[in-house]
Amino acid sequence: MVRLPDRSGTRSAHRRPGGPRARRGVDHARAVHRRHTRAGAARTGGRPDPAEPKRTGRLRSALTGRSVAGQVFLLQVVIVLLLVVAAVVSLYLQARHDSTQEARRRSVAVAEAFANAPGTREALSSPHPTAILQPRAEAARKATGVDFIVVMNTDGIRYTHPKPNRIGKKFVGTIAPALAGKTVVEEINGTIGRLDQAVVPVKAPDGKVVGLVSAGVTTRNIGGAANHQLPLVLLTAAVALALATGGTALVSRRLLRQTHGLGPHEMTRMYEHHDAVLHAVREGVLIATGEGRLLLANDEAHRLLDLPEDAEGRHVLELGLPADTADLLASGRVATDEVHLVKDRLLAVNQRPTDVQGGPPGSVATLRDSTELRALSGRAEAARERLEMLYDAGVGIGTSLDVTRTAQELAELAVPRFADFATVDLFDAVLGGGQPEAVTPLRRTAVSGIREDAPLYPVGRQLRFVDTSPQARSLRFEQAVLEPDLDLAPGWHAQDLERTAQVVDYGIHSLITVPLRAGSSVLGVVSFWRSEKPEPFDTEELALAEELVARAAVSIDNARRYTREHSMAVTLQRSLLPRRLPEQSALDIAYRYLPAQAGVGGDWFDVLPLSGARVALVVGDVVGHGLHAAATMGRLRTAVHNFSALDLPPDELVALLDELVARIDQDEAAHDGSAPVTGATCLYAIYDPVSRTCTVARAGHPPPALVRPDGSVTFPDVPAGPPLGLGGLPFETAELTLEEGSRLVLYTDGLVEDRDRDIDEGLDMLRGALERAGKSPEETCRSVLETQLPSKPSDDVALIVARTRALPADRVAEWDVPPDPAAVAGVRAALNRHLEQWGLDELAFSSELILSELVTNAIRYGADPIHVRVLFDRTLICEVFDSSSTSPHLRYAAMTDEGGRGLFLVAQLAERWGTRYTPAGKVIWAEQPLP
C-alpha cells in the first residue's frame, strides 16, 4: 500500500507500488500537506502549529463541501430535513384523517343509538313528535359531543334541530339509501356549515322504515384535534431535526478525520493503481496484454495455477498450464464460469477484455476453486430434488377421496423421479372402506412404470406373499426392507420362481418395500423397483421411500375412512328414500333423484295419498353431506308421513315440522353440542282432483314451477317462509287452480343453483327447459336434467313432475241433509241409485250401513249444515261434512250400553276411516275397496 498522510500501511513484502501514476498521487498529497503547513505558520507569526493545518483544512473542507465528508454532511442534512418535513406533513394529515373518521363513526353510532332508543319509534307516530323528540335530541347531542341530532320523517321534514327555527324544514342531505334501510355517511354544506353527517333509518318491527335520524360534526370541530396537535408535532420535528443534524455532524467529523480532508478526485488518484487488494481476495486474478503476456497475477492465482516466481512478463503459453486453460488466457475471449481441470482442481474461469471503455488492450481473468463446491452442489441438488418430491407428494397425493386413485397418484409420483417402477398393494378390506386385517389377501391396486411391458403382477391381481418375501417381512415387522440385488435374494425368488426370473431378466435389479402404516393400522405395502440406473438403492433412498409412503398413507387412510362413511351414508339414504310411489289416480308422476358427485346429501321427496282422493307432494332439503344429513332427512321424512296422517293443511303441517326441527336442535345441543340443522327446507303441496285446486306452503324452499296445458311456464307466487327450525314467523299458503293436464314441477336447489350460477339464472334456464320439454312427466324430467344438470354436480338434485288429472263429475255424488233422523232413509236410497249406476251393487249393504252411521252421528252430535259426498275413485269414499269441530272416537261399548257401536261397525266394514278438519267444520270419511 502507498503510505497516506497521517496513516501508516505497507503492502505485501514482495510487491512494489506500480506505475508513475501512483507516485504522482503521493507527490500530490505531500504538496497539499506542505501548503497547509505554510498557511498555518503565517497565521501564528512564523511559528507553525502542528495541529493548526489539520484543523483549518478539515473545517474548510467541511464548510465548502469539496471534501467527501463535507458532501456527505450536506447530503445527510438535506435528507434528514426532507424526512422531517415529510413526517410532519404525514402526521398532520393522518391526525386530521383520524379525526374525520372518528367523527363519522361517532355520528353513525349516535344516530343509530338514538334511532334504536326506546320511545323514538313511538314518538314518530305520536301527534306532536317535536315536543317529545327535541329535548331528547338536544340532551343526547350535548352528552355525545356531536354538533347536531336531527330526527325527520320519511319525507325529510325535520322534527328536531339545534336551531329551533330550522324545525319543520327540509333536511339537507341524501336520504334515499336510508329509506331503503341502509346507513348513509356523507360530507355536505349544511345549515350550520361544512359538516360530516350520518343518516340511519328508524324501522318498525316488520322492517318498514318509519323515520330517519341524522347526526354529525362540523368540519371545523373535526380539524380542531389536528390543529391542537400541530405545535407538539412541530416541536417534536424540530428536536428530531436537531438531533439528526448533530448526529450527522458527528458522523461527518469522523469521516473527515478518517479521510484526512481529501476530496473525491484526490482519493481516486491516490488509490487508482493500488493492487494490494488483489493479493487478499480468495479468487485468483490474472491480467494479460493483448499479445498474451502476463502483466499481473495475485497470490491466489499463483497458488491455484502453481505459477513460477518469474511468471509476470512471460507469455501465458510458456507457463506450463494445461492446453485448454492456456489457450483461453492467451485468446482474451469472453468466458463465464468455464470449468477447467488444472492438476487436481476444478477451476471456474471468468474472463473479460480490458479495452471495452477505452482501456489498454488485454484481458483480466478471475479463477475460483470449485472442486468442493461442485461436490457440495451435487449433494445439495440431490437433497433439493428429494425435498421437492416430498413437497409434491403432499400436494399431489390425496387430491380425491378415492382409495384407488390415491394409490395411483403415489405410484405415478415415484416414477421416474425415484424409481423405474412402483406398485401399491392394499388389503381388500381397505378398498371397501373397512378395517385392514393381516389374514386377508392383498390386491394390486396401482402400478406405474417407465414402460408397460414389465413382468410385474397386473392391477387387480389378488396376492398372498410368502413369509420370506420382502413384502411379507415389511408387513410383519412394519418396517421398510431394502433388497439391493434381487438376483441374490432367495427370499424374494421364493414368491414365484418363474415370474421372479422374468423380472430379473427384464433388468429390474433392486427393490425397496415399505409398509403403508396409518396410526396402528397397516393398510398394505408399496414396492419401488429399479432397472435403468445401475446403482442399487441405498440407505438414504430407503429413508426417502419411508417418508414418501408415510405421507401417502395418511391420504389413503383418509380416503378409506371417507369410503366407509360414504357407503354407510348411501345405504342409509337409500333405505330412507321411497322405494316406489304409492298408487293414486290424481296425478301422473315421474321423478329423479341424483346424488352429488362427492358425498351423500339430505335431499328427499315423497308422494302421500290423502283422504278424499287427494294427494300430497313433498320435497325437502337438508343442507350438508354425510351421515348426519342423511339421518336428519330420514327423521324429517318420517315426521311428514306421521303429520300427513292427521290431514292437516300445508301451513299447519310445515309449522309442526318447524317445531320438530327446533326440538331436534335443542336436544342435540344439550347432549353432545352438535351443530343445528341449519338450512333445512321443505315444500308441501296438496292436490284435490275433485276441485282441481292445489294448496302449497314452503319453508325456505325454491318455488314450484307450473307448466300449463298450452306449454306456458310460470312460477306461482307462494309465500316463502323461513327455513325449518328458525321459528318466529307463521307460514302461509297459496291456493292454485290447475287445469287438467297441467304439470306441477317440484325440485331442490341443487337443480337451479351452484357455484357457477345464481338461482335467478338457474330459474331462467329451468323455464326454458320446461318450455321445450314434451308433455309427459318422463319427457319433462329428461329434458330438465339434460339442460340443468352440471357435469359435476356439487349438490343433490331431487325432481318431481306431476301431471294433474280431474275426477269426472259423473263419479261424484253430493247431497245436503236436513238435521232430521228421518232424512237418513232418503240418503240411503240416493246412494243405492248411484251405486247401481256405477256398477257397485256389491257394496250397497256395507255402504248403506257406513253412510247411515256417519249421517246419524252428524245429525245427533254435529251442527248444521250437513253435507254428504260420495266419490268413485280407486276406492269408494263416503264423506259427511258438518260444522261441528267435535271429532268422534272409537270405543268399545259394554254389554249394557245402548249405543257406541256405530263407529266400531264403520271401522270393521271400511278399509280406512278418519276425520279431517276444514275452516267450516270437519269431515268424517270412510274408504271401501272396490270389488
For 734-780, the DSSP string reads EEEE--TT-EEEEE-GGGT-BTTB-HHHHHHHHHHHHHHS-SSHHHH
Residue 907 one-letter amino acid: A
pLDDT at residue 46 is higher than 90:
no
Return the exposure string of 460-490: e unless at least 16 CB atoms fall within 10 Å of the residue's CB, then b.
eeebebeeebbbbbbbeeeebbbbbebeebe
Contact 414, 447 (CB under 8 A): no
pLDDT at residue 303 is higher than 60:
yes
CA distance 159 to 130: 5
CA distance 78 to 81: 5
Q: pLDDT at position 21, please?
A: 38
Q: pLDDT at position 272, please?
A: 57
Q: Which of 101, 104, 95, 90 is nearest to 228 (CA)?
A: 95
Asked which of 42-46, 476-480, 668-672 is least confident by mean pLDDT, the reply is 42-46
Q: pLDDT at position 808, please?
A: 93
pLDDT at residue 377 is higher than 80:
no
CA distance 865 to 818: 8
**Positive or negative: CA dihedral 845, 851, 855, 860:** positive
CB hemisphere CA count around 769 (13 angstroms): 23
178-207 pLDDT, tens digit each: 888 888 888 888 777 778 888 999 988 888
Contact 923, 870 (CB under 8 A): no
CA distance 220 to 194: 8
Q: Which residues contact 231 (CB under 8 A, 6 or more apart)?
A: none
Q: What band does 106 get if pLDDT is binned at 50, 70 and 90?
A: confident
Q: pLDDT at position 577, please?
A: 72
> Residue 790 has what DSSP assignment?
-
Q: pLDDT at position 396, please?
A: 82
Residue 308 one-letter amino acid: P
Largest CA distance in the chain: 159
pLDDT at residue 599 is higher than 70:
no
CA distance 784 to 765: 9
Q: In whole angstroms, how far apart are CA 854 and each of 293, 750, 824, 868, 922?
A: 131, 48, 10, 9, 12
Among 190-204, 287-301, 509-523, the range with the most confident prediction by mean pLDDT is 509-523
Burial of 144: CB neighbours in 10 Å, binned 0-12, 13-18, 19+:
middle
Q: What band does 504 get if pLDDT is binned at 50, 70 and 90?
A: very high
pLDDT at residue 828 is higher than 80:
yes
66-94 pLDDT, tens digit each: 666 677 777 777 887 788 788 777 777 77
Cβ atoms within 10 Å of 623's Cβ, excluding its own: 18
547-585 pLDDT, tens digit each: 999 989 999 999 888 888 777 766 776 676 777 888 899
Question: Average pLDDT for residues 489-513, to the nearest whole number?
Answer: 92
Question: Average pLDDT for residues 429-438, to the nearest whole number?
Answer: 83
Q: What band does 743 get if pLDDT is binned at 50, 70 and 90?
A: very high
Q: pLDDT at position 15, please?
A: 41
CA distance 684 to 636: 12
Q: pLDDT at position 25, please?
A: 40
Q: What band does 47 get if pLDDT is binned at 50, 70 and 90?
A: very low
Q: pLDDT at position 331, please?
A: 87
Asked which of 445-459, 659-673, 866-880 is least confident by mean pLDDT, the reply is 659-673
Q: pLDDT at position 38, please?
A: 43
Asked which of 146-160, 257-271, 500-514, 705-719 is least confident by mean pLDDT, the reply is 257-271
Question: Average pLDDT for residues 295-318, to the nearest whole number?
Answer: 86
Asked which of 89-98, 355-364, 669-678, 796-805 is least confident by mean pLDDT, the reply is 669-678
685-699 pLDDT, tens digit each: 999 999 999 999 999
CA distance 364 to 294: 10
Q: Which of 635, 580, 571 is nearest to 607 (CA)?
A: 580
Residue 778 backbone zone (phi > 0: left; psi -120 to 50: alpha; other: beta)? alpha
Q: What band does 378 get if pLDDT is binned at 50, 70 and 90?
A: low
Q: What are phi and psi of 555, to 5 degrees?
A: -65, -40
SS3 state at 586: coil
Q: pLDDT at position 14, please?
A: 39
Between 396 and 832, the higher pLDDT residue: 832
Between 398 and 691, the higher pLDDT residue: 691
Q: In whole angstroms, how far apart are CA 876 and each of 9, 520, 566, 589, 809?
A: 125, 66, 46, 23, 15
Reading the block at residue 584, the C-alpha cell is 293414486
Sheet holding 193-203, edge to edge: 148-152, 209-218, 193-203, 184-190
Residue 152 one-letter amino acid: M
The gap from C-alpha 556 to its chain's centroid, in whole angstroms, comes to 23
Among 75-79, 247-251, 706-710, the range with the most confident prediction by mean pLDDT is 706-710
**Average pLDDT of the residues of the chain:** 81
Cβ atoms within 10 Å of 606's Cβ, excluding its own: 20
602-616 pLDDT, tens digit each: 788 999 999 999 999
Asked which of 26-40, 675-689, 878-892 is least confident by mean pLDDT, the reply is 26-40
Q: pLDDT at position 795, please?
A: 77
Q: pLDDT at position 803, please?
A: 96
Return the exposure string of 353-385: e unless at least 16 CB atoms fall within 10 Å of the residue's CB, then b.
ebeeeeeeebbbbbbbbbeeeeeeeeeeeeeee
pLDDT at residue 887 is higher than 50:
yes
**Percent over 70 (pLDDT), the chain:** 82
pLDDT at residue 16 is higher than 60:
no
The end-to-end CA distance of the chain, in Å, is: 128
Q: pLDDT at position 528, please?
A: 95
Q: pLDDT at position 382, please?
A: 67
Q: pLDDT at position 694, please?
A: 96
pTM: 0.51
Asked which of 19-23, 100-104, 527-531, 747-751 is least confident by mean pLDDT, the reply is 19-23
CA distance 68 to 261: 7
HEC readout, 436-496:
CCCCCCEEEEEEEECCCCCCCCCCCCEECCCCCCHHHHHHHHCCCEEECCHHHCHHHHCCC
Asked which of 8-17, 141-150, 505-514 is least confident by mean pLDDT, the reply is 8-17
Q: pLDDT at position 44, please?
A: 43
CA distance 233 to 134: 41
135-191 pLDDT, tens digit each: 988 888 888 888 888 999 988 899 898 888 888 888 888 888 888 888 888 888 877
Sheet holding 362-369, edge to edge: 294-297, 284-289, 362-369, 345-353, 335-342
**Positive or negative: CA dihedral 568, 574, 575, 576:** positive
Bridge partners for 915 per DSSP: 924
SS3 state at 45: coil
pLDDT at residue 18 is higher than 70:
no
pLDDT at residue 839 is higher than 60:
yes
Q: What band does 267 get if pLDDT is binned at 50, 70 and 90?
A: low
Q: What band does 228 get if pLDDT is binned at 50, 70 and 90?
A: low
Which residue in this structure is represented by grid cell 427370499? Answer: 491
Asked which of 215-219, 389-393, 477-481, 900-904 is least confident by mean pLDDT, the reply is 900-904
CA distance 233 to 113: 35
Sheet holding 521-530, edge to edge: 462-463, 442-449, 421-427, 521-530, 510-518, 481-483
Q: pLDDT at position 898, please?
A: 45
pLDDT at residue 627 is higher than 80:
no
> Residue 811 has what DSSP assignment?
G
Burial of 403: CB neighbours in 10 Å, binned 0-12, 13-18, 19+:
buried
Cβ atoms within 10 Å of 28's Cβ, excluding its own: 14
Q: Which residues contact 215 (CB under 8 A, 6 or more apart)?
A: 106, 107, 108, 110, 111, 114, 141, 144, 146, 148, 149, 150, 197, 198
